[in-house]
């Protein structure tokens, strides 16, 4: 009898999508959450279980009980993966977890400085039965991180220049994860997940204009202007450093290449940005404008 899938980050954007599509396939899902009394809701049908990346080995062993698969993602706040993620991999091995699906990073194989590279290398060195998902930039960045500037100023403010990005919907990542968990042949594989369209941010702004019925602009801010805005908003230094790095990658067009991995792995095409914008239009609704300073 198949066991449950333990999903880390189950209350977050990707983890919730993974749980949603696993449930749709009839799987039993256990949501790993730091505070079992947290008011943040788990997806309906998911059983919550106490979990923290700082747990002792015996506590990690207890968290794995009854589960035979693990969706593993690195919380953004964790940089020391040797201390906090490697022990989770070790616990999964002790629990005879038959598949770990790791949420990695597009191009990770060429970027040895990232925590994701270290995790992938450790998974391989331990002989863990793992599958790596390497997604492109999330469409949800536009509806979360950059939503306020679109709501309040009708601007898409990212230093991407005239480069292209094959954005992917986090729901598509969830669909892929559910597919590779429930079909054979994915152990030892790494899948780069991109959308099927490669768009400039000027095109992103044009699509938002069409969907929202008001003009949304992309002003191609410089890197220094973008970083200065983050600093003025009180963003922490490590966040600013990450933003600086990822948009340099974008400007080199490393994220420009679309593919059909979502279609191939799930049998359905990747979500287009227009479909995403129509679904998430409330995120940029002017009714939610924040009060601006005079």
> Residue 279: pLDDT above 50?
yes
> Residue 39: pLDDT above 70?
no
Q: Which residue has the tokens 């780069």?
A: 192
Confidence band, pLDDT 50/70/90 cuts, at residue 223: very high
> Residue 150: pLDDT above 80?
yes
Confidence band, pLDDT 50/70/90 cuts, at residue 80: very high
Q: pLDDT tens digits for 191-208?
A: 999 999 999 999 999 999
Q: pLDDT tens digits for 87-117?
A: 999 999 999 999 999 999 998 888 788 899 9
pLDDT of res. 243: 83
pLDDT of res. 213: 95
**Higher-confidence position of 148 and 242:** 148
Q: Do 4-135 and 140-166+196-257+271-287 fold alike per CATH?
A: no
> Residue 171: pLDDT above 60?
yes
Confidence band, pLDDT 50/70/90 cuts, at residue 288: low
4-135 is a CATH 3.40.50.720 domain:
yes
pLDDT of res. 146: 92
Q: pLDDT tens digits for 42-77?
A: 888 999 999 999 999 999 999 999 999 999 999 888
> Residue 143: pLDDT above 60?
yes
140-166+196-257+271-287 is a CATH 3.90.25.10 domain:
yes
pLDDT of res. 110: 83
Q: pLDDT tens digits for 232-277?
A: 989 888 778 878 888 888 898 889 999 999 999 999 999 999 999 9
Ranges of each domain in the chain? 4-135, 140-166+196-257+271-287
Q: pLDDT tens digits for 119-140?
A: 999 999 999 999 999 999 999 9
């Amino acid at each position: 009898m198949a066991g449950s899938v333990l999903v880390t980050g189950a209350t977050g954007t990707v983890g919730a999508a993974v749980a949603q599509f696993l449930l749709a396939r009839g799987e039993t899902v256990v949501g790993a959450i730091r505070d079992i009394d947290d008011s943040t809701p788990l997806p309906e049908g998911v059983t919550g279980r106490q979990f923290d990346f700082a747990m002792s080995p015996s506590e990690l062993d207890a968290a794995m009980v009854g589960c035979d698969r693990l969706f593993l993602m690195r919380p953004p706040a964790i940089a020391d993966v040797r201390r906090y993620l490697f022990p989770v991999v070790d616990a999964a091995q002790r629990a005879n977890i038959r598949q770990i699906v790791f949420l990695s990073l597009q191009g990770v194989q060429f970027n040895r400085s990232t925590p994701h590279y270290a995790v992938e290398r450790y998974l391989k060195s331990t002989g863990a039965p793992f599958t790596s998902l390497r997604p492109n930039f999330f469409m949800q960045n536009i509806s979360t991180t950059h939503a306020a500037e679109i709501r309040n100023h009708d601007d898409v403010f990212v230093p991407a220049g005239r480069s292209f990005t094959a954005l992917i919907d986090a729901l598509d990542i969830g669909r892929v994860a559910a597919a590779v968990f429930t079909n054979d042949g994915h152990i030892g594989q790494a899948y780069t997940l991109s959308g099927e369209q490669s768009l400039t941010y000027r095109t992103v702004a044009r699509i938002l204009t069409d969907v929202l019925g008001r003009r949304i602009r992309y002003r191609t801010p410089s890197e220094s202007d973008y970083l200065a805005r983050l600093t003025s908003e009180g963003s922490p230094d490590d966040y600013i450093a990450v933003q600086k790095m990822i948009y340099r990658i974008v400007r080199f067009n490393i994220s420009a290449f679309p593919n059909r991995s979502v279609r191939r792995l799930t049998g359905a095409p990747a979500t287009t940005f227009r479909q995403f914008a129509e679904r998430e239009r409330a995120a940029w609704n002017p009714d939610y404008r924040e009060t601006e300073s005079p």
